Amino acid sequence: DSRRASLFSRRVFSKSLLRRAITFVLRFALRVFFRRIEVVGAEHVPRRGACLFVLNHPNGLVDPAFLLCFAPRSVSFLAKSPLFSMPVVGFLVRALDSIPVYRRQDEGEDTARNRETFERAAELLRRGGTIAICPEGASHSEPYLLPLKTGAARIALGAASVKQDGGTGRRGHGEMGRQREELTGRETPHPSHVSPSPRLPLSPSSLSIVPAGLYYTAKTTFRSGALLYFGEPIPVSSVEPDEQGEPPRERVRELSDRIAGALRSLTLNADRHEALAMVARAERIFSSEDDEEEPSLERELRRRRRFVEAYAFHRRHSPERLEVLEKRIRQYEEELRQAGIEDPRQLSAAT
């Protein structure tokens, strides 16, 4: 009735207002901490239709904050379940429509509940929503992308899956709900917490996975730089699920591999920290020749990616040349220190 519709509208408005307030505060905090923030590739993000963001995870809660504040669409998140029990953080993740993920490394968590998590996420996508997930599964400081969990691929394929009878390829809320009701004695709410929409499969062109790479010049250093780099979307084709309602394993692995390749193309990856340190030092020297006073972070990332590839090549095929290069860089840096120059970009053409 009209009264119920009015109440629903007020709730939606207040939730939207809260989301905008949280986003405003977080965006302000990010711009205070980071001197430079660049967003590249936003034109790759579909403005309509279901969208699943996949993001690398080098910097804890700062990573999803960047996506929340600078993605061109409103985003819901999959977040580890312990966050929901934290006093302040729990309020924030709920206000942002996050869905809990249950991990083996979190004590006392039942990973079997992730089936419901995946179903809630797939249902949101079926309604044309937007979700973000960090498929590495945990924040880390490794110099490379960790092996990806299959959750992102399973959610995407589950949202697009079709049974032969034309329904969605999943065990519906009814079956999962009955199982939980038998265990708890309570009625289970619909996973999306809203009135269910018709369970129609997504068309192959209506769901896209958008890879997003985060690159930090020095993630824990005040007034450093950060780049959010959106890649080209990966279309998701419908598949026929198996008898358990799950997408075929080979299709899950294939899609996970495509996601991993896309994320590697947007991030900086080396096999060891020493390689990144060496590359950073070399890049500072070469960037001093740029015409720009301060080259873009995208350009810096691309150059460092090329240096990493060259470093890996010479370490395998001509390690002696690599040693000579490292020695020359050390000598050059020592000459700069003796001259009282901290940054090679301070050098002029006359110098």
* pLDDT value of position 346: 65
Amino acid of residue 74: S
- Beta pairing, strands 99-101 & 234-235: unpaired
The whole-angstrom distance between residue 223's C-alpha and the CA centroid of its chain comes to: 22
Structure-block tokens of residue 324: 């000579």
Nearest to 215 by CA among 279, 170, 289: 279
> Is-contact 67 132, C-beta < 8 A?
yes
What does the pLDDT average to over 197-201?
Answer: 48
Structure-block tokens of residue 33: 């901490």
* pLDDT value of position 283: 87
| DSSP type of residue 271 | S
* pLDDT value of position 103: 92
Of residues 221 and 168, more confidently modeled: 221
- For 90-136, the pLDDT digits (tens) are 999 999 999 999 998 898 899 999 989 999 999 999 999 999 999 99
In the chain the domains, ranked by start, together with CATH numbers, are: 2-264 (3.40.1130), 273-346 (no CATH)
Say what the pTM is. 0.84
- For 18-65, the pLDDT digits (tens) are 999 999 999 999 999 999 999 999 999 999 999 999 999 999 999 999
For 312, other C-beta atoms within 10 Å of its C-beta total 16
CB-based contacts of 76, cutoff 8 Å, min separation 6: 96, 97, 98, 99, 124, 129, 130, 131, 132
* pLDDT value of position 1: 67
Task: Label residue 193 by pLDDT band (50, 70, 90).
Answer: very low
* pLDDT value of position 201: 53
The whole-angstrom distance between residue 136's C-alpha and the CA centroid of its chain comes to: 9
Examine the pLDDT at 174 and tell me if it is beyond 50: no
- For 212-231, the pLDDT digits (tens) are 999 999 999 999 999 999 99
